[in-house]
């Protein structure tokens, strides 16, 4: 995976990612930290909200405005169970890579 510097815009109460003349509807809150990566033709969107204790990973294909795969961990317990106790020290790329193993 490699980082993708892409513009994210706010459309009413949702967030929109624009990349290669395509529009993607992000499943993220306005106060979430968002990291975007690409691998092959896929776009990976890592969503982190440490104060509320959740994180998720969405995968988008070209010409698909909504995610085709998603994993969302709702609590510190779920995150620790999935990623281990040191998940808070992991880089966004490591988090996205580790979470992508649970998508298939």
Question: Strands (DSSP E) along the chain, which ranges?
Answer: 2-3, 8-11, 14-19, 22-26, 33-39, 42-49, 54-60, 69-73
Q: What range does the domain containing 11 cover?
A: 2-100
Query: What's the pLDDT score for residue 99?
Result: 95
Looking at residue 30, its pLDDT comes to: 80
Global pTM reads: 0.85
Count of domains forming the chain: 1
* 15 touches 9 (CB < 8 A): yes
- Residue 35's CB: how many other CB atoms inside 10 A? 18
Q: What is the pLDDT, as a whole number, of residue 37?
A: 93
Mean pLDDT by 10 residues, the chain (104 residues): 62 76 84 90 92 93 90 94 93 95 83
* pLDDT at residue 93, rounded to an integer: 95
């Amino acid at each position: 995976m490699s980082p993708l510097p892409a513009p994210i815009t706010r459309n009413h109460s949702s967030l929109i990612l624009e990349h290669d003349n395509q529009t993607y509807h992000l499943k993220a809150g306005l106060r979430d930290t968002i990291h975007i990566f690409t691998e092959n033709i896929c776009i990976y969107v890592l969503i982190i909200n440490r104060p509320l204790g959740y994180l998720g990973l969405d995968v988008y294909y070209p010409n698909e405005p909504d995610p085709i795969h998603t994993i969302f961990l709702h609590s510190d317990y779920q995150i620790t169970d999935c990623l281990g106790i040191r998940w808070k020290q992991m880089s966004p790329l490591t988090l996205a890579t580790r979470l992508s193993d649970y998508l298939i």
